Chain A
Amino acid sequence: MLTGLRQCVVLAALAVAGLLAVPATVYADGGTGGVQCSQDDPRPACDVNAGIPGQPGQPGGGDGGGQGGDGKCRNPGGEEIPCVRDGAYAGADGCYYTPADPSPSTVAALGGQPAGEGGWYMRTCYGPPASFGGVVWIAGAAPVVSPAVLARQARARLNLPTIVIRMNPPGNQLVNLPVWLALDRDSWRSVSATASVPGVSVTATARPVQASWSMGDGVVVACTGPGTTWTSGTDPAKASPDCGHVYRRSSAGALRGSYEVTVTVTWEVSWAGAGQSGTVPGLTTTGQLQTRVQESQAVVR
């Protein structure tokens, strides 16, 4: 897919990343710069009739961007441009790209999430005539190959463990008896994945940081660890040292006579490679079980 030449180009781009000092400002002038559209402006955002944001991937997308055969980055006019500017990489169109993470509400305002493969990117095009930037959907392959783009690919390859709940007492619970909330050891461990192009490799690592237990009785218990598994010999009336709950109401009145326990594990995802590092949006995994909570005359507290 990538030729040796392109590999060199990517490396060259990485090498010059810290050397090129370019003014950081994209927007000159007044506050309306970001919403300015001249008549017959070709940008999608200025098309009053268009409903769909973004555009198809650049021809040759994913090949490392706007580098030519001489290893230099050029704009469509043929002029040499820096391969990296403000941490963003030059695409074949001469504009610069970094991965973006618009919120669902932002995506909706931009026209909705397009179907199919692709990604959201911050695209910055520098003038003349004018500089402008914006968040765009690029369908298909990434418009540039950069450590940040590889980090997204590595993140997508993370194979997070299935959540296995170790609740004690197992099965049904009793009112006023402490419940020990724990996850199987294998459900709570760091997981890594790597994405690479020849010469550049980026590893994303997911680390579990929180287990949020929704107990079904309206109580949510947040634990910063996997919890402690109850072992036989421990006093059943003792509470978990780090992650537990006490039901105060029987589940007799709940739907189907049982509580649904849902645990959501939040993962922080960081990446490192090509001499850079950063974070990408986190991930969550969930596990569920049903439990009946009964009144018991035997446990008097």
Chain B
Amino acid sequence: MLTRQLMACLVSGSVLLCTACSPGEPAESAATTQPITPATTTSLGPSAVAEKEALTAYRGMWDAFVEAAKVSDPDASDVRRFASGQALRLIVNALYTNREQKEVILGELVLDPKVTNLAPAGNPVNVTVLDCVNDEKWLEHKASGGLANDEPGGKHRTTATVERTAEGWRVSSFILDKAGTC
């Protein structure tokens, strides 16, 4: 459902037009809901604030992952500051596995996240982020030095859900697809 909507957004050529879609709504009603517009006044509206904070959490999660992955630390506290639920499970599992395999991830990860949905429109607590995560220069290395293998990285279509919790915004889940999907 969500995926189809995202696809519809992409096909329509404008992600912005669909930013106010909620997952349960048919795409046709998008035009009747409030689109996200850049703030024209100095004070940001609830949607603009949510968008900004959700993207901060999303980037924070990847920054924390990148940092923890340098030493394969599954107990890194920053990862827990920005990720919860399935997102946290995936990352902690990956870090733990890397530690067991005596591997680390080094290099630079390139993100390009965009908010595609905020729900509910008036006071968003659930934000959908679409990204094209590029790990062409963020590669698995042996902990002892050198690349783990000669496979290249790639660009991964990623959809994430960022939720407002009592402790702040957290990425609660994400699906990162295989290389070459964006």
Encoded as 1 (CB less than 8 Å from any B CB) or 0, chain A from 115 to 142 comes to 0000000100000001001110000000
Contact bitstring B142-154, A, C-beta under 8 A = 1, else 0 = 0000001101111
Return the contact of B92 from the options A36, A51, A109 (Cβ within 8 A). A109
Q: How many residue pairs, one in A and one in B, have C-beta atoms under 8 Å apart? A: 134
Please tell me which stretch of B18-26, B27-35, B83-91 contacts chain A, meaning at least 4 of its Cβ atoms lie within 8 angstroms of it.
B83-91
User: Which of chain B's residues have a CB closer than 8 A to the CB of A110?
Assistant: 89, 92-93
Name A51-74 residues within 8 Å CB distance of B: 51, 53
Q: Which of B90, B100, B140, B161 contacts A31 (CB 8 A)?
A: B140
Are B75 and A30 in contact (CB-based, < 8 A)?
no
Cβ contacts under 8 Å, A41 to chain B: 175
The range of chain B's interface size is 35 or more
Among B106, B133, B148, B154: residue with most chain A CB under 10 A = B148
Rounded to whole Å, the gap between the CB of A22 and the closest CB of chain B is 14
Is A106 within 8 A of B91, CB to CB?
no
Q: Does A102 contact B (CB under 8 A)?
A: yes
- How distant is B131 from chain A, measured CB to nearest CB, in Å? 11
- Answer whether A30 and B152 are a contact pair too, CB < 8 Å, given A36-B176, A48-B86: yes
**How close is B104's CB to chain A, nearest CB, in angstroms?**
9
Cβ-based interface call for A8 (8 A): no
Q: Are A109 and B89 in contact (CB under 8 A)?
A: yes
Task: Name B100's contact: one of A109, A111, A122 (CB within 8 Å).
Answer: A122
Cα distance A100–B69 when bound, in Å?
19
A-B contact pairs, 24 of them (CB 8 A): A26-B97, A28-B140, A28-B149, A29-B135, A29-B153, A30-B139, A31-B66, A32-B135, A33-B140, A34-B94, A34-B98, A35-B94, A35-B174, A48-B86, A48-B161, A48-B173, A100-B96, A100-B100, A105-B75, A109-B74, A109-B80, A111-B89, A133-B100, A134-B93
